[in-house]
Amino acid sequence: MTFVQNNFAWILVALISGGMLIWPLLSRRADGEVGTLAAVQLINHQDALVLDVREDVEYDAGHIANARHIPVGKIEGRLQELEKFKSKPIVVVCRSGMRSNRACSVLRKHGFTGVHNLEGGINAWQQASLPVAKK
Let me know if 104 is a catalytic residue: no
- Annotated active-site residue in 34, 49, 82, 94: 94
* Distances in whole angstroms, Cα of residue 61 to Cα of each of 3, 58, 91, 109: 59, 5, 19, 30
Q: Would you please indicate which residues are annotated as catalytic (active-site) residues?
A: 94
